[in-house]
Structure 1
């Protein structure tokens, strides 16, 4: 293995450790000084700031261990435990920042509820993403993946034309079903109230609704079908070329995390506790909305995992010539 092979991936743990630690310390300061003018409001339906502190400091600790290479001397089960902790802490930080997508969307309509909350949510989500990047890098080392492409040759997809696994198809169509349930509830609600459908009135909100419907129909299909990886023939200028992976993967991760976090965590919690206006709404409507959004988000995230692996750059070393280029 080349000496510099791990140098790039190891930068992420140092950045993630410092960023997560700073994020956690900020929350500790706000806990100790609740009246501080810099303290943003606590997130609704969250366990509280101590959850952010615990997740952030856990992320900082595991990323520091990954950065220093200490874990490479551990037994394999211990290394997998470290990877699992990094995944939990990173995903937890993103879930704790579940209001970030809503804040970004409201910005499009010229509404900002609290700049401090927006920046804090962005910082928490960034800490989560950095921690997940560290988790992936360490996981590749534990799995002895190829240092050139990150694949475990013989078990990972080698090219974009490789078949999509069945579980990814299932996840994509679960997302499609969740979107269908939510749109059905929206249509029924509008028809019952004798109001025009919100995606047919020509308003900016109608454009947003149309984009969301595309994110629940075209996007999950693009994650698992060939047209999402290679431009089809009817796209004449680009036919046969690779689709930029982040053109599909970026929206899938953003929408999936936003829906799963906001509705799967906050929405479900509010529904169970009878908070907000959910207690007065019909059960059928709330069920279609909450479960529809949640399954939609989780399906996108699961299908995105398959798409991420299938759209990696081709390995520069053909199969059978990478045995000496493994991670230790």
Structure 2
């Protein structure tokens, strides 16, 4: 991870001093400043060193700030992937540097989460704080997770409702438009409730070959985080900034912009928030706890 952060920092220092490559369309990020990624990677390196040498709440807080900051700065990585999926030209310099930023940010977030678990006395095997964390996939999700998931669903429906009024972006002659609508339906209508309902953790009965088995956690959490951070960054940071500044698309009516941009933002934020308890409740069963339970059962039987 250190090599990724160092490489990211060195590249951006060079670009800030000597000038960077010409990125397609929007540049590397909507977040302004040539030195912004240098500061973020510097904070990330400081957090990593603190967690390695003197782990504490300050190091964890710095790790969250720097890790999430790098993810948000490189949020257009999600758009790169979407462009590849729908056959758009790839901005290779932007894609590669954003890949590096996403990788560094994600690894730092994972390192920060692991450090926090040690500080709060979480189980070394499964990462839970037994007695306070859900132990099984069948446990209930918190109400705030349901609220976040259904706000995400409402945001996606608001965006789609605006498109229904003005005309869906679909053409029988363009296969990518149909792929977009299918992906939209999965990410906007299926994904939010999957994060909080049992069928998003355990395959339901109608999925005959897999019924009753555990749903792979990253099959749901991966798209939720990718789409969530991408929408939150693109529309929450860039889009809402344009709305507040009055820099609106003259080809679209005002009501359309006020439905689509906040809709995308709420959709993205809701996915990210609802993905947090999903990741917690879908951890693998604790082997230590299982061994203790078996030992207690054997003692009672004896």
Q: Segments of 4+ in structure 1 off by > 6 A? A: none
Among residues 22, 28, 33, which one is paired with 1:48 in the alignment?
Answer: 33
Among residues 123, 126, 139, which one is paired with 1:162 in the alignment?
Answer: 139
| Cα-to-partner distance string for 1:111-169 (whole Å, 9 max, x where unaligned) | 33521111011111111101101110111111111100000111100010001110111
Q: Is 1:291 paired with 2:268?
A: no
| Cα-to-partner distance string for 1:227-269 (whole Å, 9 max, x where unaligned) | 1111111111111111111111111111111111111111112
Q: Counterpart of 1:311?
A: 282
TM-score by length of 2: 0.90
Q: Is the 8 A contact 2:225 2:271 kept in 1?
A: yes
Among residues 144, 168, 178, which one is paired with 2:155 in the alignment?
Answer: 178
Q: Counterpart of 1:93?
A: 70
Q: Is the 8 A contact 2:51 2:60 kept in 1?
A: no
Q: Is 1:66 paired with 2:43?
A: no
Among residues 126, 144, 152, which one is paired with 2:103 in the alignment?
Answer: 126
Q: Counterpart of 2:187?
A: 215
Q: Structure 1 unaligned segments of length 5 or more: list them.
A: 1-14, 72-78, 191-196, 323-328
Partner Cα separation in structure 1 for residue 37 and residue 171 of structure 2: 41
Partner Cα separation in structure 2 for residue 279 and residue 238 of structure 1: 50
Q: Counterpart of 2:244?
A: 272
Q: Is the 8 A contact 1:178 1:296 kept in 2?
A: yes
SS of the residue aligned with 1:317? helix
Q: Counterpart of 2:219?
A: 247
- How large is the RMSD of aligned CA atoms in angstroms? 2.0
Among residues 107, 118, 125, which one is paired with 2:84 in the alignment?
Answer: 107
State the 1:320 CA deviation: 10
Among residues 9, 18, 22, which one is paired with 1:33 in the alignment?
Answer: 18
State the 1:44 CA deviation: 5.2
Partner Cα separation in structure 2 for residue 283 and residue 168 of structure 1: 31
| Cα-to-partner distance string for 1:51-90 (whole Å, 9 max, x where unaligned) | 11111110011112212x322xxxxxxx212111111111
| Cα-to-partner distance string for 1:281-306 (whole Å, 9 max, x where unaligned) | 32211111111001001111111111
Q: Is the 8 A contact 1:27 1:53 kept in 2?
A: yes
Q: Counterpart of 1:5?
A: none
Partner Cα separation in structure 2 for residue 290 and residue 108 of structure 1: 22
Q: Is the 8 A contact 2:86 2:180 kept in 1?
A: no
Aligned residues, how many? 290
